[in-house]
Structure 1
Amino acid sequence: MQLRIYITFFLLVALSACAHSENLPKDTVETRFTNPVWDGADPWMVKQSDNYIYCFSSNNGIAVSSSKFMTKKTEAKSIWQAPSSGWNSNCVWAPEIHFIDGHWYVYYAAGVSGPPFIHQRAGVLRSVNDNVYSEYEDMGMLNTGDDPEDSSKNIWAIDMTVLEHSDKLYAIWSGWLEQVDTDATSQHLFIQEMENPYTLKGKRVLLSSPEQSWETGGPLDLNEGPQVLKHDEKVFIIYSCRESWLKEYRQGMLQLKNPDANPLDPESWIKTGPVFEGNDSVHGVGHVSFVKSPDGTEDWIIYHSKKTTEPGWDRDVRIQPFTWNADGTPDFGEAVRAGKELKRPSGEVEIEQNQINQ
């Protein structure tokens, strides 16, 4: 009888301790994470102050989320919905958000209809203030054709990004040489100076075509998804090539020869590749963006990859750190397989620890 009383007493104490511990604040957080971090494609992430802003297309519109953590996306809020009619009423693709001169600008592609996806053009939205969740004004379609005076001759364009260099602003995008009636058309990279964040200036310049052996070889040769990467005084454009729906999708690189070189001169750029590609366990890496860790000591690449080797656009989002070579060029290393544990970005654990202990 006495033994039974002791056992009952210890069980009650243990249960009470467990119940009490559930109400206690945790003093530790997960220090590692695994890829993929979430479903999605064309990931665009930018660090503004202490927040990571993530922008993506959703339900024929554009949404953003803001988080203190690179590895944890918060609940997203819709900032723009495509109109019921007009040039940008369908096929909202790959938006990017940039903070320029006190406003957020969202560059996106859309078309009046599709498929076939022959109507895609580049548009831009502007926030009414410096709050990423503010209302956005539709600043219209950008003229990415060869005639700046005649927007009716506009030409297919997607994946627009911006380069700020030597106090000038440049638009870089993927487009066609001329407007045609089939989306089975090769894509090229173009660059053009901007008068302001929503107006192009001068004429477009053909910057890169899929000509190298590592850019070609499939059913359709593409250069798309250009992204700007800077390191010290060096300027790079990391872009996607091969076919976005195949496992061979990969990254090439353009490097500005020197800080004083003219970005509008194709001879100012050196092409190298592939600089990042898939392997036996990671397929079709593409459409990247770049951010610093919370404490600013590490560089990270955000990218999407295919979930299978089968043709298609079923993709998820992954992140991993990268380093720099002795010559100042990026070393993206090997795409990390799903499930492999990685250390969380430097400074992220401490931020979460502080939040829990407050």
Structure 2
Amino acid sequence: MSCNEFSKEKTFTNPIREGADPWVFQKGDDYYYCASSGGGIAISKSSKLTEHGVFQKVWDAPDQGWNSANIWAPEIHYIAGHWYIYYAAGEKPGGPFIHQKSGVLKSHGNDPFGPYEDLGMLYTGDDITDPESVKWAIDLTPFEHEGELYAIWSGWEENRETDRTAQHLYIAIMSDPATISSNRVKISSPEESWETGGELDLNEGPQVLKRNNLTFIIYSTRESWLKEYRMGQLKLKEASVDPLLPKNWVKTGPVFLGNETVHGVGHCSFATSPDGTEDWILYHSKKGTEPGWDRDIRLQPFQWREDGSPDFGNPVSINEVLPVPSGEKE
């Protein structure tokens, strides 16, 4: 490569924007981003992973009710001709955050910018015949496997009067993108040495990553407000096994961990480069080492190991120059 050619190489640096809980959904030549915004949810569209575009608010929380406050970590998905937004919310603003449940919005057509219909709360409890028995739940994400639709989320074993409550990962069957139709099954608890030892034991932010007939759940663990926040992994033993059986998930971790310059990495989502040749992870990290939720959003490529599992490497330092995703245009 000549000096002139090298000078034209497009690059970027982290962080790519302010915020937390980054979500990207890739459809066609575009990326759709989703975020909490001013008591509601906003969407943006971009041809780039490095630039998220202008966010447009598509839904405002109601003035009262179970989902009137604390709108957390929304995700947008395109399923069977409609856009769906999954989110967590509570009935009272601020803490303690003991009322969080998961809900879903559905687009009237196939426009990701709406309008959206609020289809209400998703059932996340142990007795599907009793809707009132729904349990605390956040970070719900749907995924398809072997022709069946499932939901995975982070929840409490029992509703409590304190938000200092351990969080676990649960899975259930969905009869359609807006309906959970089975009781939940717990598939992961914060039990390993790298998941415990701090103020509160958490498994949260599960995201599904698939490649070559292998299925992984990449999730966040330790405390989101501490520099020890990190990621773990569940691997489905084989494509043919039942994901509702906890024994069929194998835990590994940590698979992505902070370092001396990047602190508290967590809550990721995934996409490929515009030309489909590279895999990228979008995640947030803390701006400093002190406890708190002052975070920004970062992006970096990752590789794959010989056994088929993802290799996220180390989080790149702030202002480290990286080539833009392959195929990204001006």
Shorter-chain TM-score above 0.5: yes
Name which of 226, 235, 244 aligns with 1:264: 244
Matched, 1:238 2:218: yes
CA offsets 1:169-226 (integer angstroms, 9 cap, x no match): 0000000001111000000000000011111112100110000000001010000000
Amino acid corresponding to residue 54 of structure 1 in structure 2? Y
1:8 is matched with none
Name which of 38, 45, 48 aligns with 1:59: 38
Matched, 1:320 2:300: yes
Instruction: State the secondary structure of the residue aligned to 1:78.
Output: strand
Instruction: State the secondary structure of the residue aligned to 1:267.
Output: helix
Task: Tell me which protein shows more helix as a share of its residues.
Answer: 1
In structure 1, runs of 5+ residues without a counterpart are 1-27, 353-358
2:169 is matched with 189
Matched, 1:141 2:121: yes
1:24 is matched with none
Report the Cα offset of residue 149 of structure 1.
1.5
- Aligned ranges 1:1-358 → 2 under 5 Å: 31-113=10-92, 114-348=94-328, 351-352=329-330
Report the Cα offset of residue 73 of structure 1.
1.5
Report if aligned partners of 2:220, 2:231 keep a CA contact under 8 Å in 1: yes
CA distance in 2, matches of 1:73, 1:255: 30
CA offsets 1:230-262 (integer angstroms, 9 cap, x no match): 011000000000000000000000000001010
Highest CA radius of gyration, 1 or 2?
Answer: 1
Report the Cα offset of residue 135 of structure 1.
0.3
TM-score of the aligned structures, taking structure 1 as reference length = 0.89
Report the Cα offset of residue 134 of structure 1.
1.9
Report the Cα offset of residue 60 of structure 1.
1.1
CA offsets 1:105-131 (integer angstroms, 9 cap, x no match): 100000001311000000000011111
CA distance in 2, matches of 1:37, 1:157: 29
The root-mean-square deviation of aligned C-alpha atoms, in Å, is: 0.9
Amino acid corresponding to residue 216 of structure 1 in structure 2? T
CA distance in 2, matches of 1:92, 1:296: 32
- The count of residues paired between Structure 1 and Structure 2 equals 323
CA distance in 2, matches of 1:219, 1:151: 32
Report the Cα offset of residue 30 of structure 1.
6.3
CA distance in 1, matches of 2:114, 2:84: 12
CA distance in 1, matches of 2:54, 2:8: 21
> Structure 1: which 4+ aligned runs deviate by more than 2 Å?
none
Amino acid corresponding to residue 256 of structure 1 in structure 2? L
Report if aligned partners of 2:16, 2:297 keep a CA contact under 8 Å in 1: yes
CA distance in 1, matches of 2:195, 2:324: 33
Report if aligned partners of 2:40, 2:71 keep a CA contact under 8 Å in 1: yes
TM-score of the aligned structures, taking structure 2 as reference length = 0.97
CA distance in 2, matches of 1:147, 1:179: 14
Report if aligned partners of 2:67, 2:91 keep a CA contact under 8 Å in 1: yes
Instruction: State the secondary structure of the residue aligned to 2:142.
Output: strand
